[in-house]
Structure 1
Amino acid sequence: MAKKVVNHIKLGVFVSAGLCFLILLLYMIGKNENLFGSTFLLKARFEDVHGLVPGNSVRFSGIDAGTVKAITILDDGSLEVTMLIRKKMKRYIRKNAQANLGTDGLMGNKLINISPVKFAAQVVNEGDVIASGKSIDTETMMAVLDKTNQDVATIASGLKTTVQRINSSAAFWAILNDKTLPYNLRRSLNNARRTTDGTNNLVKELQLLITDVKSGKGSLGRLLRDSSFTIKLEEAVEKIKNIGNQADTLSGHINALVVSIDKDVNSGKGTANALLKDEGLVLKMNSSLNNIEKGTASFNQIMDALKQNFLLKGYFKKLERKKSSQLPSTSYKSD
């Protein structure tokens, strides 16, 4: 009887141990602890792990590569995540790879994605710390979505107000109900089309004109392309320049003469001053002119008296006949 009890106790212990081992095995498999494969340690540091816990998956380029072993707080702003990575993935992970936090689906468990970098680098070793990138957690995404929803609601409210105003606008509906509007629109479009055609024709004519000018055709083309005309134009410009220089020289002489006359007038010297300011000279000149006039009158009287003198009358008549005989021939020559 006692032996039977001992056997039952042994059987109970054996069954209990088997169940515990089975439960532990299932737990370890569920946590992806890689019990039956060789692994190596790899580390990454983050400012915030956003709910990542040991046992979460680690993926390399979307492929399951290991699990999270432990999370250690280094200081107030840094957390170190230790990862167990299968050794067969070691040759693919480089030291310049980057670890980023992600989720398994939209609302799934947190995980770590290791992304390769295209630049060449050495393969990671046991215990290496790879770089980490900033990740957007679900809360941040939800906050952004909430802000977006609010903006969409504001836009929808504005659109609703606009539609209501349009519906209540009598002027807008009057325009839409106007039967002449399609005709006017078609006429405007036709006018715009004709204007466009005219513009195209004008552009074509301008292109043709430019082509003719470039090829030397037409007056403008010959004007722009004729080298002899350019030479003549340069010669004309040079002559105009010479005339301008001569005009400047003449102007300088005239200015000098005017300055000299002004100086003589103001200084009281010279003929100009005497003519313009000397009253005595003016009186003398007037007296001389009067004497000349009187002498001319006396001379005319003497000539009239000589013409009446019987000794010289024949001489003067002969002169008059000679002059009268020469007048026709002179007029004929002038013709």
Structure 2
Amino acid sequence: MSAESNKRSVTVGIFVLVGLVIFVAGVFVLGGQQKRFTRSLRIMAVFNDISGLKVGNNVWFSGVKIGTVKRISFFGNSQVEVDMDVEQSSQQYIRKDAKATIGSDGLIGNKIVVIQGGTISHPEIEEGDRLQTVAALSSDQILETLQENNRNLVRVTQDFKALVGNIRRGKGTVGAVLTDSLVANNFKMAMANLEKASVNTAAITGSVSRFASKLNTKGTLANELVTDTTIFRRLSRSANKLENVASNADKTVGTLGQVSQNLNRASEKLNNNNSPLGVLLTDQETATNLRITLRNLNEGTRLLNEDLKAAQNNFLLRGYFKKKAKEDEKRKADSTDASQK
């Protein structure tokens, strides 16, 4: 064998060896992606619509790839059963009440099966378990929803355009405010009045706050009136007394009114010429006769006193008067002794 043929054989051997290495590496890579060399368990899920899911698509759990779709077959009348191989290491995290749904790997990527973990109160999944499913929104449904939103947006835009047009033409309250200078001035005046009212309200609020602080300050009359029950009872008694005084004053006023009426009636009688007092007060002749009569009575009284003195000096009556004088002196002495005892 020549050297050239040996060289060719070595080159072919090297290429064959490299090809074998690449083949083995590819097998291992593809096997790793398909979970061929890991221990797995098979679970199933029945969907109404798998939205284009294919054998070999991935199975995800909490954003982590845990298996692949192994078989797709019809189930019942119109449902589809999907068999999945998941890693046995993820078994402890997936519960029997977990739910499976059809998702997408990215916005327009391949379809995948997404498993939503259940509650810890349920046991772990086992070989051959069938998971519950949740219907996912299909792209057609999403597009239909977007189309409906677009139609609503068009209607809203048209309504807004009509509203802006009415405002520009001065229709409605807002249009009148924006286009009519008189309405705008009135609106400005109303806002100014409102601002003044707000200032006054703030001042009143401050006054009320200060008054409340005085009420809460101990030792002040206002605080005692609000908090001290003794002062309240005293004020209540004082009010009752004032009410009694007022009622008594009303009675007194009534009595004074009656007295005034009596005095008026007496005055009317005094001014009446037919009554005796009226005649005495108003008739001059009767008054003159009354004066003469009184003068005569005084004169007669004086003469009677002189006659009595003359009778005392008469010897016939002198003994009587002396006896009477002694009795008077004895009576005075007895009364003096009685008062001294």
Alpha-carbon contact 2:41-2:88 (below 8 Å) kept: yes
Alpha-carbon contact 1:94-1:116 (below 8 Å) kept: yes
CA distance in 2, matches of 1:64, 1:121: 23
CA distance in 2, matches of 1:196, 1:50: 64
1:81-230 equivalences in 2 (<5 Å): 81-117=82-118, 119=120, 121-169=122-170, 172=175, 175-176=178-179, 178=181, 190-215=192-217, 220-230=222-232
Matched, 1:39 2:40: yes
What secondary structure is seen at the aligned counterpart in 2 of 1:126? coil
Percent identity, aligned pairs only?
23
1:174–1:48 distance in 2 versus 1, CA, 3 Å? closer
CA distance in 1, matches of 2:109, 2:237: 92
Q: Which amino acid aligns with 1:205?
A: S
Normalising by structure 2, we get a TM-score of 0.52
Deviation, 1:154, is 0.8
1:12-23 equivalences in 2 (<5 Å): none
1:306-325 equivalences in 2 (<5 Å): none
CA distance in 2, matches of 1:235, 1:180: 61
1:236–1:192 distance in 2 versus 1, CA, 3 Å? closer
Deviation, 1:209, is 1.0
- Spell out, residue by residue over 1:208-231, the C-alpha distance to the aligned partner (whole angstroms, 9 max, x if none): 112222335665444323332333
Name the count of aligned residue pairs. Answer: 224
RMSD over aligned CA atoms reads 4.5
Deviation, 1:145, is 0.9
Deviation, 1:139, is 1.5
Deviation, 1:63, is 1.9
Structure having the higher Rg: 2
Normalising by structure 1, we get a TM-score of 0.52
- Spell out, residue by residue over 1:23-75, the C-alpha distance to the aligned partner (whole angstroms, 9 max, x if none): xx99x959x64334432101223333333333322111122222222234443
CA distance in 1, matches of 2:36, 2:149: 46
1:53–1:121 distance in 2 versus 1, CA, 3 Å? same
Q: Which amino acid aligns with 1:156?
A: T
Alpha-carbon contact 2:95-2:120 (below 8 Å) kept: no
- Spell out, residue by residue over 1:106-149, the C-alpha distance to the aligned partner (whole angstroms, 9 max, x if none): 33332111122464543322112233223212121111111111
CA distance in 1, matches of 2:101, 2:66: 14
Alpha-carbon contact 2:70-2:83 (below 8 Å) kept: yes
Aligned position for 1:64: 65
Name stretches of at least 5 consecutive residues in structure 2 with no aligned partner: 1-22, 243-296, 302-341
1:58–1:187 distance in 2 versus 1, CA, 3 Å? same
